[in-house]
With several copies, the nearest count.
Chain A
Amino acid sequence: MSTHDSSSADDGGLVQLLLPDGERIADAGYDKWVADVDDDQLKSLYEDMVVVRRIDTEATALQRQGELGLWPPLIGQEAAQIGSGRTLRQDDFVFASYRENGVAYCRGVEYTDLLRVWRGHTHSGWNPYDINMAPSQVIIGSQTLHATGYALGCQQDGVDTVAISYFGDGATSQGDPNEAMVFAASFQAPVIFFCQNNQWAISEPVGLQARAPIASRAPGFGIPSMRVDGNDVLAVMAATRIALDRARSGNGPTYIEAVTYRMGPHTTSDDPSRYVDVLEREGWQAKDPISRLEAYLQSRGLLTDEFTGRVNATADDVAAKVREGCLGLEPPEPLSVFDHVYSEPTSWLERQKDEYVQYLQTFEGGQ
């Protein structure tokens, strides 16, 4: 176990607790935040990562088979999502983008609820209050403000609930996440800005969005930040816990840049062969979050056949449920197109619906 200290983010340095080869390195500032992570927890983190990757593969297959309209894979980002998602309390509230299926998994989402949006059945797979997670957000960066506002609400309520917002490296260029930092800093909102820097915004490399390390932006707004190895589940956990602790104890927002890599396409519609360098991708393959934890488990003698067998069986089981759930989803009712535009129907919309109902009736009894 080598020793290493990584307190400041501004030099572009990276908090790491697990090296790509699985070696656990000590870090004076961060170790204590994961001191409680025992063998069982390590194994369960591993299981979660394997399962969400398996869900991802299954969903991609479903899309290829025409059962989903689209799917945004998270492969490569399991540690960033599970490491942070697992540290949250049930009452914390998540405002994510569209790629955080791993986080949703940690929130206890139903498998079928993960798919409704991508099968085209709804704009929100779940009731946000059931799992304290907002629906996927397509407008890049928008949700950072929502998290900040939610956090202000928690502050006003006098509770130690925290809001966390997930967004990508590309999102950092938008106005909203910058305004969110201004508001969060100004009101010392208990919010965490969790940026998964997966190196790409569709075809655009992170260098087009940011000339300095992304984590270095926050301090200029008066927000402390950390830059962590996003493929290192322990480092991500530690950083998120630091941020949660700061927020819960009334010390305001924190910004985390989790440096990771999007191993797959942007979505199933994307063709990364047009822009991704194979060598770059291979380089990141060697830093894979799952194999890294696997190596560490191995080094601790925890990677037994029995254990991996059980994990894979669980993953297969989940995948089967995902598929089954997907195929069993009931399409929405035609007239539900008019529902929930307002909390109560308006005269105008009722009339519109009414005329449409009349119209649909002309097809019955075969006009």
Chain B
Amino acid sequence: MSSMTLSRAINSGLRRALEDDPKVLLMGEDIGTLGGVFRVTDGLQKDFGAHRVMDTPLAEAGIIGTAVGLAYRGYRPVCEIQFDGFIYPGFDQIITQVAKLHYRTGGAVKMPLTIRVPFGGGIGAVEHHSESPEAYFAHTAGLRVVSCSNPQDAHTMIRQAVACDDPVMFFEPKRRYWTKGEVDEEITGQTPSIDSAAIVAAGDDVTLVTYGPLVATARDAAIAASDEGVSVEVIDLRSLSPIDFATVEASVRKTGRLVVTHEASQFGGIGAEIAASITRRCFYYLEAAPERVTGFDVPYPAAELEDHHLPDLDRMLDAVDRVMDRHNSLSGREG
């Protein structure tokens, strides 16, 4: 065990992956000499060479599309997209090729790509540097979508993602890159599995579901709620596609109340799927309609406004109050 930042934990996971399997390659813009704009790949090119840690031309479709070809040839490319908002030029290759090739070929061609995407806001950045595009990918059959929230998961999950024979969209909570935690780098294998959720705080009254950057906020909210006498169970989904509904369902059957929170816009976001699926699975257990606390349905705003867009502890608590039918911002209003 050693203490390291989330960013470093991914770095060490990638290092292990490169060591373990000669077919693993890293590709991306500025990931080599510079070590990535977040230094997640720092030192790896130096140690593994420019053939395995490749600075690529500035073109996301090019990165993903050549990675597809490499996968055809038996490689396991790990592509870095420099920031969330730059994934769209590569979207066609992801949706029409990466997600579909295994199905297209009846399982003959494997697409074990990992596509790393630093995502989310809260860092005061300029446009296109704070987005949460995960719902697009979660809606796409053939892709796995995961997000880590702490250094240990970051390390374990990146290794599992690289080892996974399916394409994995790996969303890294960029504002938590510098969060420190204990990491056991000797953990190998598939436990906990990459698509299982984790209960990160136990509680009885409300189930608060989230992932990535907001897990820390949700834990704080649970503590604050407990001060007010409300017991909140916090679930870190870890996998956004598939979602470990069994874990969420079990929790909601116990609490009878669900709040989902994410930075992404609300309309058609992951929260809608969770609310819809859990309503179906737990209809007779629900004490209140599931609530969502999300980024608003606006393009990601300028940095000075992001605090008025992103869910925070207070907005989570307000939603907890709503499902508890305690005094809240909508008290006295209907629906």
What is the interface of chain A, defined by CB distance below 8 A to chain B? 69-70, 93, 95, 98, 117-124, 127-129, 134-135, 138-140, 142, 144-154, 156-157, 163, 170-171, 173-176, 179-180, 182-183, 186-187, 201-204, 208-209, 269, 274-275, 331-332, 334-344, 346-349, 352-353, 355-356, 358-359, 361-362
Contact = CB atoms under 8 A, between A and B. Distances in A.
B202 interface: no
A148 B66 contact: yes
Contacts of A153: 69-70, 72-75
B288 interface: no
Interface in B93-139: 93, 96-97, 100, 102-110, 124-129
- Indicate the size class of the contact surface on chain B: 35 or more
Contacts of A175: 59, 61, 89
Contacts of B309: 337
Residue among A121, A146, A156, A338 facing the most chain B CB atoms (10 A cut-off): A146
Interface string B183-195: 0000000000001
B242 A341 contact: no
B283 interface: no
A173 B62 contact: yes
Given A120-B303, A340-B106, A182 B59 contact: yes
B66 A122 contact: no
Interface stretch (B13-21, B170-178, B207-215, B293-301): B293-301
B37 A202 contact: yes
Contact of A145 (B29, B68, B110, B305): B68
Contact of B107 (A118, A147, A343): A343
A204 B55 contact: yes
A295 to B, nearest CB: 35
B93 A118 contact: no
Interface string B222-256: 00000000000000000001111110000000000
A202 B103 CA distance: 28
Contact of A347 (B59, B166, B242): B242
Contacts of A157: 73
A361 B333 CA distance: 14
B244 A347 contact: yes
A107 to B, nearest CB: 15
B169 to A, nearest CB: 13
B59 A135 contact: no
A118 to B, nearest CB: 7
B65 interface: yes
Given A204-B58, A359-B315, A69 B69 contact: no
A203 B62 CA distance: 18
A122 B105 CA distance: 8
Given A124-B106, A153-B73, A338 B246 contact: no
Contacts of B302: 117, 120-123, 332
B65 A154 contact: no
A348 B243 contact: yes
B195 A149 contact: no
A347 B105 contact: no
A183 B66 contact: yes
A129 B69 CA distance: 13
Given A275-B34, A347-B244, A361-B329, A339 B106 contact: yes
Contacts of A349: 141, 242, 296-298
A1 B74 CA distance: 48
Secondary structure of the A contact surface, majority rule: helix
Contacts of B58: 140, 170-171, 173-174, 201, 204, 209
19 contacts: A123-B100, A123-B104, A138-B127, A145-B65, A150-B70, A153-B74, A153-B75, A154-B73, A179-B65, A182-B57, A187-B54, A275-B34, A334-B308, A335-B308, A339-B106, A343-B107, A344-B165, A346-B144, A349-B296
Given A139-B86, A139-B128, A341-B299, A203 B69 contact: no
B85 A173 contact: no
A140 B30 CA distance: 15
Interface string B38-70: 000000000000010011111101101111111
A204 B68 contact: no
A173 B55 CA distance: 13
B57 A274 contact: no
B179 interface: no
A322 to B, nearest CB: 19
Nearest to A359: B329
Contacts of A144: 65
A140 B97 CA distance: 12
B301 A337 contact: yes
B304 interface: yes
A275 B30 CA distance: 10
Contact of A149 (B68, B246, B267, B299): B68
A93 B69 CA distance: 10
Contacts of A346: 144, 195, 242
B34 A202 contact: yes
